[in-house]
Amino acid sequence: MIDFIDISKEATDLLFEIVEHEEEANYWKSRFQNMSNREDTILRGCFKELRENNLVNVLWADNYPYNIAILKDGYLFEEKTRKEIEANLSTFEKGLKGLLQRTKSIKSPINAASIGTNIDEYNKPSNVWINDFEIFYNKYLRDHFLSKRIESILFHRTLSAYNDLVAILESISKDTDYINSKKTTFITEGKAMKDYEILLKKLISKANKDDLNILCYTIESGERPLFGKLEMDGYIKNVHFRGHQYVGLDLTYEGLHYFDKKSDAVPEKTDPKPRKMYDVFLSHASADKIAYVEDLKKSLEILGIEIFYDKDTIEWGDNWKAKIYEGLEKSEFAIIVISENFFGREWTELELKTLLERQNDEGQKLILPILHNITTEQLRDKYPTVADIQAIESGKNSTEQIVLLFAKQLIKRYK
């Protein structure tokens, strides 16, 4: 009876491995050739444990198992144990496992094929997988140490993106500390609830009272799992983890008034703030400042336009990262000067990604691209998403003409 079988975790893992590679003739020969003496000894002991429990039969030759027969109880025990393990997996672990499992039947994408092969159809499974990965990433992985690498891959989405993301997901699947941290998702009473409310009080005190926004909150020990609960309960929204230490978010009306005594009072809705802190955010590569951006900035200033320009806005002693995030969030528009100097720079691409996300969330025009000494073909090769946004070229428009065009956009917005 399989209910009475009691084997070690290592032997159970070996049984899973045997079932998974049952049809691969040379798998075990290669496996044993690449092992240390210690690993070899442990694995042979596990094979012995499986055989003594009548789960497998093994024939050895040339110092490796050349024939492994899984017995009836082996199949039944493997199936029962796998179901028990999967029943105890968190939603995060199930999603992670499911994505990795799907890769076994998906071929890497191609950009050339023999006559008769439809490349779009061939690449469709990997493209769908990348889309599903992006959903999974935004739900669960934004606070992982590899998040910057993932965002860069998703942003550029080159031919190697699928293989790169699979490799990253395999690494994350071995990050046991991170996976264990994701299991702490349900907070109900006692000290956990106290911590939940302590964090909410901190967020209320730090939120901008005009728009309930927190640009950059420093995460303290033990707080990270609490953000998921607060968001799930509707007290915060638009949570964006920035690495492992920082997070940006919006407080909801319910979160702001969580501790109010007058729970029956009907809130009076107020009109949104008519204008943002800045009319425009100037995003550019430092190498283009003197040659182009300074002149553009001066032309904007002549019309009295409020500009977020790093050189003028960030003062001595400021947290420059926090100030840039503030500018990105509190500007009505963003003029992005895209040149060859812009390509591949960490902060210019981070600004561009943040602005694209904001434009998608708000559903209105935000990004105004200027192509500076590059072609639309170069833009499409580097940033295909941005290439779909109407741009103007610096070589065909003077800074004065560009400023007048921007002023028209501003008047339309504030009308």
3-state secondary structure at position 283: strand
Domain boundaries, the chain: 2-80, 89-110+118-182, 206-256, 278-414
Count Cβ atoms within 10 A of the Cβ of residue 122 and give its class: 0-12 exposed, 13-18 middle, 19 or more buried: middle
3-state secondary structure at position 289: helix
Instruction: Pull the structure tokens for residue 200.
Output: 């909410």
Query: What dihedral do alpha carbons 188, 190, 193, 195 form, nearest 10°?
Result: -140
Q: What is the CA radius of gyration of the chain?
A: 28
- The answer regarding whether domain 278-414 maps to CATH 3.40.50.10140 reads yes
pLDDT for the residue numbered 1:
59
pLDDT for the residue numbered 273:
47
Strand-pairing partners, residue 247, are: 217, 241
Active site residue 254: no
> Could you tell me if 403 and 177 are in contact, meaning their C-beta atoms sit under 8 angstroms apart?
no
Q: Rounded CA gap, 415 and 404, in Å?
A: 16
Q: Tell me which of 20, 306, 351, 357 is the catalytic residue.
A: 351
| 406-410: long-range pairs with CB below 8 Å, 24+ | 406/280, 406/300, 406/305, 406/333, 406/335, 406/368, 407/303, 407/305, 409/333, 409/365, 409/368, 410/279, 410/280, 410/305, 410/332, 410/333
Distant-in-sequence, close-in-space partners of 58: CB < 8 Å, separation ≥ 6 = 47, 50, 51, 65, 67, 68, 69
C-alpha to C-alpha distances, 146 to 132, 205, 337, nearest whole angstrom:
18, 31, 28
Instruction: Pull the structure tokens for residue 6.
Output: 């009691």
> Could you tell me if 181 and 225 are in contact, meaning their C-beta atoms sit under 8 angstroms apart?
yes
Which class in CATH covers the domain with range 2-80? mainly alpha
Q: Rounded CA gap, 227 and 231, in Å?
A: 6
Distant-in-sequence, close-in-space partners of 355: CB < 8 Å, separation ≥ 6 = 281, 283, 328, 334, 336, 366, 367
> Could you tell me if 291 and 264 are in contact, meaning their C-beta atoms sit under 8 angstroms apart?
no
Instruction: Pull the structure tokens for residue 252.
Output: 């909801």
> Could you tell me if 212 and 179 are in contact, meaning their C-beta atoms sit under 8 angstroms apart?
no
Q: Rounded CA gap, 228 and 84, in Å?
A: 26
Say which DSSP state 111 is in: S
Pairing label, strands 307-308, 278-283: parallel
Low-confidence ranges of the chain (pLDDT < 70): 1-4, 183-194, 222, 242-245, 261-274, 415
3-state secondary structure at position 99: helix
- If phi over 0 gives left and psi between -120 and 50 gives alpha, with beta otherwise, what is residue 54? left
pLDDT for the residue numbered 370:
96
**Predicted structure pTM score:** 0.49
> Could you tell me if 124 and 130 are in contact, meaning their C-beta atoms sit under 8 angstroms apart?
no
From edge to edge, which strands make up the β-sheet containing 278-283?
307-308, 278-283, 331-338, 367-371, 392-393
3-state secondary structure at position 140: helix
pLDDT digits 0-9 by tens, 283-328? 999 999 999 999 999 999 888 899 999 989 988 998 888 899 889 9
